[in-house]
Chain A
Amino acid sequence: MSAQAIPILMVVGTAALLSLLFLGLSGWLGPYRPNSLKSTTYECGVPARSTVQIRFFVRFFLVALLFLLFDLETVFLYPWAILFRSMVAEGRAAFALGEMGAFVAVLVVGFVYVWKKGGLEWQ
């Protein structure tokens, strides 16, 4: 177990315990008087339909997909960026920049294609 990760576990535990504590406190202090009107879905005053049947736009899915691809790119960029400084010192920075440039350029081609196809238009 890397020692660095132990505090994170502590933080997760503390956050979970504290939130439970406050929720319990609120449950103890607060009233509990449910009635059928109170537990209806909020709909600005008019009676609500029982369930929501919204089909999400395909756009949202596409945004998530684009995000995923760029996210993967940044994941690759981080280890590269860490080494860039030492590559500059060793005089191999041009190679490093070229290599990552090629990687990003290929992605940018795809990005431009999506752009031209109208994938970035919200309307």
Chain B
Amino acid sequence: MSGDLVFYGFALLTVLSGFFVVASRNVVHAAFSLLFTLFGVAGLYAQLGADFLAVTQTVVYIGGILVLVIFAVMMTRIPRGDAPRRGLDRAVPAAILALLVFALIYMVIVGTRWPERAAGAPEATVAEIGTGLMTTFVFPFEYASLVLLAAMVGAAILIRERAPADDAADADDAAGEGEVRS
């Protein structure tokens, strides 16, 4: 019973803040609202007994990706405050696309035969995941490092191409930062 209550609490948090992310016309508010969405999802994982996934969700999504998103939002020269309301020409295609994605996910959820797990206290999942990484999933695990390598090379290219523009941006903006950099 109380477990259900916790579930509904986290689900409500996730859905409401997620709705706010989509509905807010202030892009910075939307980005910060993701904090609660991601926290809610972490809570749902914890509630399902997937403790490692819950903590990983917090580390990677809140501590990493959300910081990245916020930096990205701040990096673009966005106006403060609300963006002007857009017409239906954008809302309608977006709604159709969202419905299609939802239909796809729904079909996958209904169509999958989910493995049933015996009820009871879930064992510590970390050791299981570690074993998996070193036995069944050695290849995907090593492959993941290649994906990370690709991302890092991408980052290096970003540095090279942005360098001149970066300097130009420094010149007109960085009054405070200039003191440190000299």
Contacts and interface: CB of A to CB of B under 8 A. Distances in A.
Interface of A: 1-5, 8-9, 51, 53-62, 64-69, 71-73, 75-76, 78-80, 82-83, 87, 95-96, 99, 102-104, 106-107, 109-111, 113-114, 117-119, 122-123
A68 B64 contact: yes
Contacts of A1: 2-3, 6-7, 46-47, 49
Interface stretch (B29-37, B90-98, B106-114, B125-133): B125-133
Mostly, the B contact residues are helix
Given A5-B51, A79-B127, A114-B152, A119 B142 contact: no
A96 B134 CA distance: 7
Contacts of A111: 152
Given A110-B153, A123-B181, A83 B46 contact: no
B71 A64 contact: yes
A4 B51 contact: yes
B33 to A, nearest CB: 17
Contact of A62 (B6, B51, B155): B155
A2 B122 contact: yes
A83 B127 contact: yes
B153 A99 contact: no
A66 to B, nearest CB: 6
A103 B145 contact: yes
B101 interface: no
Interface residues of B, number: 60
Contact of A114 (B54, B65, B155, B173): B155
A64 B68 contact: yes
A55 B60 CA distance: 25
Interface string B22-59: 00000000000000000000000011010110101001
Contacts of B165: 58
B127 A5 contact: no
B103 interface: no
A40 B74 CA distance: 22
Given A58-B166, A79-B127, 13 more contacts: A1-B46, A2-B51, A58-B165, A60-B75, A72-B60, A80-B134, A82-B126, A99-B134, A102-B142, A109-B149, A111-B152, A113-B153, A114-B155
11 contacts: A1-B6, A5-B47, A57-B170, A58-B75, A65-B68, A67-B64, A71-B59, A72-B148, A83-B134, A106-B145, A114-B155
A26 B52 CA distance: 39
